[in-house]
């Protein structure tokens, strides 16, 4: 089985379409690690497309916030404003869909899916201080996570060697192949489709070939100007419009 792993789409339809285009023919099932909506200008179209294409979707913090299941006190003012806008825009059936999304961890054959971490769906795993305990406590070899919008992840070898996995900051197309080794544990982030924050504005995703035990990371350019124009039309906050082109 080959899986297309998507995360943090954030209502960016142009980015999502390009990811599906570049991944075409390379996968059999689509999995999503949450944050379908929030920030971007196309919440309904993105939810619609994911309902059509994804086999498994778990919820992210923005999904919870945008369907009213979580308050936005902890969000910065721009994220808060975008959440209120998204709540207004979402159709009732898509709100109902977001409300019934399961939290992670979701157990799949030979791996797990989470939004933040196995312990806490809202935790950010960014530094070794967060990644090492998470790797030590995970009960499966491979966990896919999102939430940080940083493509790559971490590994811990049988000998206890910790390593960060990163795809480089300016690349496009196929970025990196990772062959899983027996005895090594992996925490893998496919990157963010709709709002990357690793200094590379290009939409990110990963393909997991379960039979070959291989993960391939990708980036693709998309029509950023159109997404930004839609955000301007919707009067979404200017800093959210600008950050897309810097990948921040
Ligand atoms: Fe996110």
Task: Please report, for the domain that includes residue 66, its CATH number.
Answer: 3.60.21.10
- pLDDT of 56 over the 80 cut: yes
**Contact residues for 88 (Cβ-Cβ < 8 A; gap 6+):** none
- pLDDT of 168 over the 80 cut: no
Please state, in angstroms and rounded to a whole number, the distance separating the CA atoms of residues 182 and 161: 14
Question: Would you say the pTM of this structure is higher than 0.95?
Answer: yes
pLDDT of residue 167: 74
- pLDDT of 169 over the 90 cut: no
Span from the CA of 183 to the centroid of ligand 1 (angstroms)? 30
Q: How much of the chain is in helix, strand and coil states, percent to nearest 5?
A: 30, 25, 45
Span from the CA of 10 to the centroid of ligand 1 (angstroms)? 7
Reference 205, options 53, 44, 41, 52; nearest CA is: 53
Count how many domains the chain has: 1
Query: What's the pLDDT band for 193 if we cut at 50, 70, 90?
Result: very high
For range 168-173, the mean pLDDT: 80
Which residues are within 5 Å of ligand 1 (an ion), measured at CB?
8, 35
Cβ atoms 186, 4 nearer than 8 A:
no
22: domain range? 2-246
Neighbours of 73 (CB within 10 A): 6
**129-162 pLDDT tens trace:** 999 999 999 999 999 999 999 999 999 999 999 9
Query: What's the pLDDT band for 170 if we cut at 50, 70, 90?
Result: confident
Span from the CA of 71 to the centroid of ligand 1 (angstroms)? 16
Span from the CA of 196 to the centroid of ligand 1 (angstroms)? 9
Span from the CA of 188 to the centroid of ligand 1 (angstroms)? 15
Output the average pLDDT for the chain.
97
For range 99-124, the mean pLDDT: 97
Span from the CA of 195 to the centroid of ligand 1 (angstroms)? 8
Give the whole-number percent of the chain exceeding pLDDT 90. 97
Span from the CA of 149 to the centroid of ligand 1 (angstroms)? 6
Span from the CA of 8 to the centroid of ligand 1 (angstroms)? 4
Reference 12, options 47, 55, 51; nearest CA is: 47
Distances (CA, A) of 78 to 53, 82, 131, 240: 30, 6, 28, 7
Span from the CA of 159 to the centroid of ligand 1 (angstroms)? 33
List the beta bridge partners of residue 165.
153
**Contact residues for 153 (Cβ-Cβ < 8 A; gap 6+):** 131, 145, 164, 165, 186, 187, 188, 189
Cβ atoms 124, 192 nearer than 8 A:
no
- pLDDT of 106 over the 80 cut: yes
Span from the CA of 129 to the centroid of ligand 1 (angstroms)? 21
């Amino acid at each position: 089985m080959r899986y297309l792993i998507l995360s943090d789409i954030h209502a960016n339809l142009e980015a999502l379409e390009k990811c599906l285009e570049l991944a075409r023919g390379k996968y059999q099932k689509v999995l999503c690690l949450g944050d379908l909506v929030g920030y971007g200008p196309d919440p309904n179209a993105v939810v619609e497309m994911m309902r059509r294409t994804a086999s498994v979707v778990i919820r992210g913090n923005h999904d919870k916030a945008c369907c009213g299941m979580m308050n936005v006190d902890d969000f910065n003012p721009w994220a808060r404003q975008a959440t209120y806008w998204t709540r207004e825009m979402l159709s009732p059936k898509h709100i109902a869909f977001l409300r019934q999304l399961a939290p992670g961890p979701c157990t799949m054959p030979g791996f797990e899916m989470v939004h933040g971490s196995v312990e806490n769906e809202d935790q950010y795993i960014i530094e070794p201080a967060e990644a090492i305990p998470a790797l030590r406590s995970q009960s499966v070899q491979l966990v896919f996570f999102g939430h940080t919008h940083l493509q790559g992840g971490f590994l811990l070898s049988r000998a206890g060697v910790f390593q960060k996995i990163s795809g480089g900051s300016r690349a496009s197309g196929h970025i990196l192949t990772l062959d899983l080794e027996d005895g090594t544990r992996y925490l893998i982030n496919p990157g963010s489709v709709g709002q990357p924050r690793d200094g590379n504005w290009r939409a990110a995703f990963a393909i997991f070939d379960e039979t070959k035990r291989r993960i391939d990371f990708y980036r693709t350019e998309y029509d950023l100007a159109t997404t930004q124009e839609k955000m301007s039309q919707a009067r979404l906050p200017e800093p959210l419009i600008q950050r897309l082109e810097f990948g921040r």
